[in-house]
């Protein structure tokens, strides 16, 4: 029995080896067969157009044929077999048959067959994969503004993707880590609905920050479908006091303005002076503290409290009133100075007039004295003259006549 079974086993191994060699040889022959059709798998998005191409290396005048997933003939050579205007002939030669399918739907996905009717009939298959294009993502959770320091949960949803899309979160250009996507299949439909959640603890710096949900899918280019929304964060005001000018001067009108940077804007302002009461010549008008006329007694620290319903904050400003310029702030001093100047000028003029009068008096007296002397000498020789001619001669002669007269009496 042992010897009889051994040849049988050997024959079985030999038969299997022969079949394997024959199969390998057959595949090599098929691969090198010039009449064997060659196709390629294609991927297309819903609504797109796909081109199916079938080629042979050589032709024996046999026609090529394309059939759909239901084995319905689409084209036989150049002849249309199925009345579907979406399917058109692209190219037909003795070695090639190419067709296009426009407005591809999910139902067009499957295996398409190219055949050449030789003896035996040769076939090749091409798988068409149809991508379900995801819808534009929708973000929820922005319905109400969020107070700073609290948490907000945002949800992003996209439908109609195949295969399931991936959702990504961004704040500005920075990618954020959300919870893992939740994928749900659609009944009686090969597509999927995808959703993702993002939880943020917000601060005032997040106010008006853009939160983006983007869809990542092979049917889309990066950034093709995305939705963005601005966060609204409520926060208490930050208060600053701005003066009307940097040099408040005594006697001038002046005001301080209270600026509260908050969301929402402050609706209530309260002014006070630190360690004292507001000046009597000041008044408040909402965000403004107005001084009708500054005084050195107004110096001090002023506080403004601003409230926007979310919180209350205060700012402070130190007021230091500067001296007023002499030519502007003190008209009395100006008129006094002017009066002094006029008095000095009047005194100088009076002295000059007095000196001139004195000079005139002295000069007049001098002239009068010299005129009398002249008259005395002129009349000197007329006293003893018997007539006018003699008097003149005597006056002209002067002393000599007198002396002669004296000599005569001697």
Strand partners, 89: 99
- Does the fold of domain 236-319 match that of domain 138-231? yes
Q: What is the mean pLDDT of residues 95-104?
A: 96
User: Is the CATH code 2.60.40.10 the one for domain 236-319?
Assistant: yes
Q: Which of the pair, 357 or 185, is modelled with greater confidence?
A: 185
Q: What is the mean pLDDT of residues 351-373?
A: 79
Class of domain 38-131: mainly beta
Residue 330 has pLDDT above 80, yes or no: no
Domain layout of the chain by residue ranges: 38-131, 138-231, 236-319
pLDDT for 133 equals 96
Residue 202 has pLDDT above 50, yes or no: yes
Share of the chain above pLDDT 70, in %: 78
3-state SS, residue 66: strand
Express each pLDDT in 109-123 by its tens digit. Answer: 999 999 998 889 999
pLDDT band at 32 (very low <50, low <70, confident <90, very high): confident
Q: What is the mean pLDDT of residues 1-5?
A: 37
- Mean residue pLDDT across the chain: 83
Q: Which two tokens stand for residue 253?
A: 């009108």
pLDDT for 336 equals 44
pLDDT band at 385 (very low <50, low <70, confident <90, very high): low
Task: Give whole-number Cα distances, 277 to 30, 202, 314, 399, in Å.
Answer: 106, 40, 17, 107
Residue 402 has pLDDT above 80, yes or no: no
Residue 381 has pLDDT above 80, yes or no: no
Of residues 318, 310, 307, 149, the one with CA closest to residue 239: 307
pLDDT for 333 equals 43
Cβ partners under 8 Å of residue 53, min gap 6: 39, 40, 90, 91, 96, 97, 98
pLDDT for 269 equals 95
What strands, in cross-sheet order, belong to the sheet with 192-201?
138-140, 151-161, 192-201, 182-185
Residue 19 has pLDDT above 70, yes or no: no
pLDDT band at 196 (very low <50, low <70, confident <90, very high): very high
Q: Which of the pair, 156 or 362, is modelled with greater confidence?
A: 156
pLDDT for 340 equals 52
Q: What is the mean pLDDT of residues 218-227?
A: 92
**CA-angle at 323, arms to 317 and 327, nearest 5°:** 140
pLDDT for 27 equals 38
pLDDT for 241 equals 96
- List the CATH code of the domain at 138-231: 2.60.40.10
pLDDT for 409 equals 38
Residue 26 has pLDDT above 50, yes or no: no
pLDDT band at 345 (very low <50, low <70, confident <90, very high): confident
Q: Which of the pair, 291 or 28, is modelled with greater confidence?
A: 291
């Amino acid at each position: 029995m042992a010897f009889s079974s051994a040849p049988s086993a050997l024959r079985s191994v030999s038969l299997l080896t022969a079949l394997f060699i024959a199969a390998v040889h057959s595949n090599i022959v098929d691969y090198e067969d010039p009449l064997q059709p060659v196709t390629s798998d294609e991927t297309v998005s819903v609504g797109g157009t796909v081109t199916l191409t079938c080629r042979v290396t050589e032709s024996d005048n046999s026609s090529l044929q394309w059939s759909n997933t239901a084995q319905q003939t689409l084209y036989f050579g150049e002849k249309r077999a199925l009345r579907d205007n979406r399917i058109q002939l692209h190219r037909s030669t003795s070695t090639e048959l190419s067709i296009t399918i426009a407005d591809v739907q999910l139902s067009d996905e499957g295996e398409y067959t190219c055949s050449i009717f030789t003896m035996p009939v040769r076939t090749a298959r091409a798988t068409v994969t149809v991508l379900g294009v995801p819808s534009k993502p929708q973000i929820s959770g922005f319905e109400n503004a969020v107070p700073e320091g609290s948490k907000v949960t945002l949800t992003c949803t996209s439908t109609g993707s195949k295969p399931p899309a991936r959702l990504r979160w961004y704040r500005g250009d920075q990618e954020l880590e959300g919870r893992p996507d939740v994928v749900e299949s659609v009944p009686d439909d090969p597509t999927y609905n995808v959703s993702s959640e993002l939880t943020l603890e917000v601060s005032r710096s997040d106010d008006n920050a853009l939160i983006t949900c983007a869809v990542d899918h092979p049917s889309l280019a990066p950034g093709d479908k995305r939705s963005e929304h601005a966060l609204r964060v409520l926060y208490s005001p930050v208060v600053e006091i701005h003066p009307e000018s940097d040099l408040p001067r005594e006697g001038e009108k002046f005001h301080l303005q209270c600026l509260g940077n908050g969301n929402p804007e402050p609706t209530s302002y309260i002014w006070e002076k630190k360690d004292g009461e507001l000046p009597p010549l000041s008044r408040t008008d909402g965000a403004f503290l107005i001084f009708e006329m500054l005084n050195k007694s107004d110096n001090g620290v002023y506080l403004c409290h601003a409230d926007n319903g979310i919180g209350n904050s205060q700012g402070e400003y130190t007021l230091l009133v500067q001296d007023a310029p002499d030519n502007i702030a003190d008209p009395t001093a100006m008129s006094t100075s002017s009066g002094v100047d006029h008095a000095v000028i009047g005194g100088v003029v009076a002295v000059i007039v007095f000196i001139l009068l004195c000079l005139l008096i002295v000069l007049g007296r001098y002239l009068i004295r010299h005129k009398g002397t002249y008259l005395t000498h002129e009349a000197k020789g007329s006293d003893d003259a018997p007539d006018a001619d003699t008097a003149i001669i005597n006056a002209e002669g002067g002393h000599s006549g007198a002396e002669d007269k004296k000599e005569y009496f001697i």
